[in-house]
Chains A and B, each alone.
Chain A
Amino acid sequence: MTVGKDVSALFPDVVNCMQTDNLELKKLVYLYLMNYAKSQPDMAIMAVNTFVKDCEDPNPLIRALAVRTMGCIRVDKITEYLCEPLRKCLKDEDPYVRKTAAVCVAKLHDINAQLVEDQGFLDTLKDLISDSNPMVVANAVAALSEIAESHPSSNLLDLNPQSINKLLTALNECTEWGQIFILDCLANYMPKDDREAQSICERVTPRLSHANSAVVLSAVKVLMKFMEMLSKDLDYYGTLLKKLAPPLVTLLSAEPELQYVALRNINLIVQKRPEILKHEMKVFFVKYNDPIYVKLEKLDIMIRLASQANIAQVLAELKEYATEVDVDFVRKAVRAIGRCAIKVEQSAERCVSTLLDLIQTKVNYVVQEAIVVIKDIFRKYPNKYESVIATLCENLDSLDEPEARAAMIWIVGEYAERIDNADELLESFLEGFHDESTQVQLQLLTAIVKLFLKKPTETQELVQQVLSLATQDSDNPDLRDRGYIYWRLLSTDPVAAKEVVLAEKPLISEETDLIEPTLLDELICYIGTLASVYHKPPSAFVEGSRGVVHKSLPPRTGSSESAESPEAAPSAGQAAEQPAVIPAQGDLLGDLLNLDLGPPVSGPPLAASSVQMGAVDLLGGGLDSLMGDESEGLRSDVGGSPAVWLPAMKAKGLEISGTFSRQVDSISMDLVLTNKALQVMSDFAIQFNRNSFGLAPAAPLQVHAPLAPNQSVEISLPLNTVGSVMKMDPLNNLQVAVKNNIDVFYFSTLYPLHILFVEDGKMERQMFLATWKDIPNENEAQFQIKDCSLNADAVSSKLQGSNIFTIAKRNVEGQDMLYQSLKLTNGIWVLAELRIQPSNPSFTLSLKCRAPEVSQYVYQAYDAILKN
């Protein structure tokens, strides 16, 4: 068993040993059961009785052991019997049993989530957060966090100042591992103002002195996150910054594996707040026997911390590293010297001379790296260091790596007028043109064209040679195209060619490898996790990203804003939640929806997708104008403006955009098919996947003529709701397949729920009252519709247009109350109470429905209709 052998044949004999009083034997039998119960579920049932009996043993150790083991047996039949003992153990008088049972709930949830919810274990677990024993609290938090991960939408860890206070108290008393769970949980909390943030920070700082590095790093995460809310003028802010440095440095004296993880995190921290470690440069100096993975990370951080004050030290170190044995490390060190030159202007000269010294060593890979970085230095400080070109040219023959060759060729081309034998140098490269890598070929082509423009008389032959090599003898489209462009430029208008090719280049920026700020902010929320090691958000690599909620740093609340901060906090929380809807549908759809088209309209489903306006540019103006005239005018209905559902690049040139609409008793999907490929498209067909409301095409997709390149066609596809039904997540998700003569393409989209509101959705008054009372209060959901300036009557008539019927209107203390009903195509009734205060642009919408999961989508529909 322990070395991978299968001993499951012994099952019956082992189960017989289970009733022993010998604890050691019992433990071993339990261990065996955990391993093999799954393969012999029928036999495992024999063990149930003993488990149930053990759960009532007077010895708490045995009670805990039994409940613990049962949770590990992943056999459905056994889980059923687990519920009762587990319920007892969760309320056991002995905290050791309670804390074990808390973890067991998480195990059971993993096996059968529904069972856990039905049995009410989640509420018991929530109660355990207030347990008197800190260990129980820690384990309850751990179990809840685990469950919450697979249920991102549920509000399991509903933190409020009271529960935070309990957690902070438990933090001081529980074990080191419990502290990590609690700290990670705290990091997800959003303090309501800067004062609360500060008080949490104050109570977390002692954790920075913990001997367990994981506790330290989790504490650093909480502090880095909440610090965002503190005003920079605060004394406390400065104190906190000072307190963060020593623990981070201490992590570097631990075992190399710990150092590595710490360094990856420090890399994030110095990018976010360089001031924390600016005086600690020396601790990042490399020791020759550090493992290579530690060396490379230290080097990275050294460069980030390099400044005018410490550059001399840094350079001396880097020069030292450049003579080490390890090739990867030496290369990176040489590159680092170049990066220093670019980052700290005052040091550029010294860096260049250091690089020249290194080139003199003639060590092949050092020379090549040096040339690559010198190219970048030229681009940052033009006309300053060109005197070194002669030295570089001496090493031309030793370059065998594409990047170095390309860099050298670039230098020769760029400074052709100063190099007497530039033509000879380039010609020597041209001999083996076809053996070079693409990078070198492209660079050589450009360099020779530059040379020609600078010295046209003597290089005509050379340029013709390279153009013919690039255009006629090459299979690489990039190279060929670039060749043709140059050729045409040169033959039509040499002056223009000169302006284009020899145009002044923009200076390169200081640090090209900085993490993009929004990603950095997200990663700061993930300090200490795998995401921080990979420098990628978890959604980018964790399997089954459905559980992933994007995190964001809290907004800074200055003292001036504190008045409105209670408002701001919930909305920020909402903003953080909403994107979760999108990644939940897999990458494909996430990408699609972010490509929102056109002006900032709030199309109902797209409003939730935290629209990136930058994406508009991607599609260019062409599409805008294509859709522009159609988006508003045609539809009196509120379908929202058309969005691109399937971009051309994902579907071999077929672009599909569209919208949904409803007109008396019929739903339609209005599509625009655009052919952006070079060939004609025909034989279109469409199919829907099963979906929540059984939407299906009522007629085949009819495109009468084949679609020629650059042509587009508008089609209104009638839909019905008699297709097969499958609950989708989110509810209004529709997966579509479109076929044409080229291929089959898939995309998914969200439809606004109001296309499903039927015309006979008006309920009788009496009926309404009875139903409203009849539906339990848990099913009531409340929403805010913001920034709507209509009065009650206008609202009523507008909603009526979309089959939301007002049944009664009441005026209570100056507020208008509208009572409304609507019915979905599948017969679900939704009752609504809309409260409108004359002076307040925010309406309160209360929805009651027997199927509460639709409420959110009905609210979205309301919001969209009213804002249209």
Chain B
Amino acid sequence: MKMIHSLFLINCSGDIFLEKHWKSVVSQSVCDYFFEAQEKAVDVENVPPVISTPHHYLISIYRDKIFFVSVIQTEVPPLFVIEFLHRVADTFQDYFGECSETAIKDNVVIVYELLEEMLDNGFPLATESNILKELIKPPTILRSVVNSITGSSNVGDTLPTGQLSNIPWRRAGVKYTNNEAYFDVIEEIDAIIDKSGSTVFAEIQGVIDSCIKLSGMPDLSLSFMNPRLLDDVSFHPCIRFKRWESERVLSFIPPDGNFRLISYRVSSQNLVAIPVYVKHLISFKENSSSGRFDVTIGPKQNMGKTVEGVVMTVHMPKAVLNMNLTATQGSYTFDPVTKVLTWDVGKITPQKLPNLKGIVNLQSGAPKPEENPSLNIQFKIQQLAISGLKVNRLDMYGEKYKPFKGVKYITKAGKFQVRT
């Protein structure tokens, strides 16, 4: 079970810009198998996550234009590795504000200290950001100035208090002057709409992201108006499962700062409201090297709220040369290399529906494209959880002060696709 032997970070142009070995050194040449697979896959997103080589297995994830490639030597649970790699990327994001090649290179010492702290002999050690931050302080401009003057370091020299308690996610001695607890209920609609406008598949992926800045050891209970909606839920480890089972109340001692409290799925069995509709006509004429394109987006089942931030992206067929379109609202771009059409619509006003219409020019002599492109729609609706989920109340025990509480709802399009 020697989990992760080595880790290579590779950028999109195929340079290995960081390597870390937890046991013996594995030669960089092992990555050749990865490059081979990458070449075969053409598109970076299509590189298979598990690759076997004569002596090793390569398990990789693709995040923020970086491949995290781990080298494995024996039978391991691949999900374990993939989850861990995502956790590493999350930690970089958390520490440096972005998980990019430059950020990693600029902070290479911290990156190393983090990797060393996160994994020991292949066993994950400390992966909670609260604990890591006590062991290794995140870089700030002020601190690096102070450090260089005073010669002090950004490595904590005491054992993190949370590390071994029954609540490893929270550090002790948290103090705030303003005590606040915010919850964002964010729901994403994944849907496939067919040509005729009827829903082939739709479900809601929801999360409650929290930002908790409370002093001491607060014990919170969050209850819902309609908890029955939540029948498929994944919890942050802090939540007491028994309370949820018996009373449908989320009871927990929260980690300090930002974290994801729960994620949930409202399945396709329940009826999912679709807040927009799309009228479309995309056709290519036989032997004329041109086609028509006409798309209108309108609101539907939006519970009286405004649909905003609407963006449509379309991967046009390869034979498309360029597009001559007019948008009644917003602006559009067409990238002739990647063949991606992007239409930034903005807000939908029901009085005047946004429309994009015009001519598609094909390469002369190319056969009429067989496939019609799918339309990918993004949108946002503020102050609405489309599933109808509503927070009832938040209570705090264990501390005397009165916290400021806030709940925000937002609905977004997830993988929302309209077939044409």
Contact = CB atoms under 8 A, between A and B. Distances in A.
A538 B52 CA distance: 13
B200 to A, nearest CB: 6
A209 B168 contact: no
A285 interface: yes
A361 B367 CA distance: 12
Nearest to A71: B121
Interface stretch (A174-182, A396-404, A748-756, A792-800): A174-182
Given A2-B108, A209-B233, A257-B61, A250 B265 contact: yes
B271 to A, nearest CB: 13
B371 A149 contact: no
Interface stretch (A258-266, A623-631, A685-693, A778-786): A258-266
A866 interface: no
B24 interface: yes
Interface stretch (A450-458, A492-500, A527-535, A834-842): A527-535
B174 interface: no
Nearest to B128: A175
Given A142-B1, A211-B260, A285-B192, A96 B159 contact: yes
Interface in A271-294: 279-280, 282-283, 285, 287-289, 291-293
A316 B76 CA distance: 39
Interface residues of A, number: 96
B158 A61 contact: yes
Contacts of A246: 231-232, 265, 267
A293 B417 CA distance: 19
Nearest to B199: A282
Contacts of B73: 543
A3 B8 CA distance: 10
A79 interface: no
Interface in A24-75: 24-25, 27-28, 31, 35, 38, 59-61, 68, 71-72, 74
Interface in B243-287: 245, 260, 263, 265, 267-269
B75 A261 contact: no
Interface string B44-57: 01101110100101
A261 B61 CA distance: 12
Label chain A's interface by main secondary structure: helix
Given A106-B121, A213-B83, A534-B52, A287 B232 contact: no
A823 B45 CA distance: 67
Contact of B20 (A2, A22, A61, A110): A2
Given A211-B263, A283-B203, A285-B200, A538 B75 contact: yes
Given A253-B265, A325-B371, A531-B75, A320 B241 contact: no
B180 interface: no
A291 B44 CA distance: 9
B397 interface: no
A530 B86 CA distance: 18
Contact of B77 (A2, A100, A218): A218
Contacts of A760: none
Contacts of B201: 282-283, 285
Contacts of B260: 211
Contacts of B49: 256-257, 260-261, 293
B120 A35 contact: no
Nearest to B202: A282
A132 to B, nearest CB: 11
B78 A103 contact: no
B2 A110 contact: yes
A180 B86 contact: no
Contact of B60 (A38, A106, A257): A257
Nearest to B68: A257
A23 B157 contact: yes
Interface in A93-142: 94-96, 99-100, 103-104, 106-107, 110, 133-135, 139, 142
Contacts of A253: 190, 205, 265
Contact of A175 (B2, B52, B121, B168): B168
B52 A541 contact: yes
Contacts of A285: 192, 200-201
Nearest to B72: A530
Nearest to B231: A246
Given A149-B74, A253-B190, A257-B82, A293 B48 contact: yes
A212 interface: yes
Contact of B237 (A176, A180, A249): A176
A703 to B, nearest CB: 41
A214 interface: yes
Contact of A214 (B79, B108, B233): B79
A279 B52 contact: no
A175 B236 CA distance: 11
Interface stretch (B109-117, B300-308, B355-363, B400-408): B109-117
Contacts of A173: 166
Contacts of A316: 194, 200
Nearest to B109: A28
A771 interface: no
A2 B79 contact: no
Interface in B143-165: 153-159, 163-164
A262 B78 contact: no
Interface in A517-563: 528-531, 533-534, 538, 541-543
Contacts of A262: 79
B168 A530 contact: no
A211 B121 contact: no
B121 A22 contact: no
Contacts of A249: 232, 265, 267
B234 interface: yes
Interface in B12-54: 16-25, 28, 41, 43, 45-46, 48-50, 52
Nearest to A323: B371
A3 B19 contact: yes
A261 B45 contact: no
Contact of B372 (A176, A250, A323): A323
A289 B127 CA distance: 31
Given A2-B19, A27-B155, A103-B120, 16 more contacts: A23-B156, A27-B113, A31-B116, A35-B21, A59-B158, A96-B159, A146-B2, A177-B127, A211-B234, A247-B234, A255-B86, A261-B79, A291-B43, A291-B46, A320-B419, A324-B371
Give the 7 A-B residue pairs with the shortest CB-CB distance, closest first. Answer: A246-B232, A24-B153, A257-B49, A24-B155, A214-B79, A177-B124, A214-B80
Interface of B: 1-2, 16-25, 28, 41, 43, 45-46, 48-50, 52, 55, 57, 60-62, 72-80, 82-84, 86, 108-109, 112-113, 116, 120-121, 123-124, 127-128, 153-159, 163-164, 166, 168, 190, 192, 194, 200-201, 203, 205, 231-237, 241, 245, 260, 263, 265, 267-269, 315, 317-318, 370-372, 374, 376, 415, 417, 419
29 contacts: A2-B19, A31-B112, A68-B120, A72-B23, A74-B24, A95-B164, A100-B120, A149-B1, A209-B233, A211-B260, A211-B263, A214-B79, A246-B265, A250-B265, A253-B205, A255-B82, A255-B86, A257-B62, A257-B82, A261-B49, A283-B201, A283-B203, A285-B192, A292-B41, A293-B46, A323-B370, A538-B75, A542-B75, A543-B55
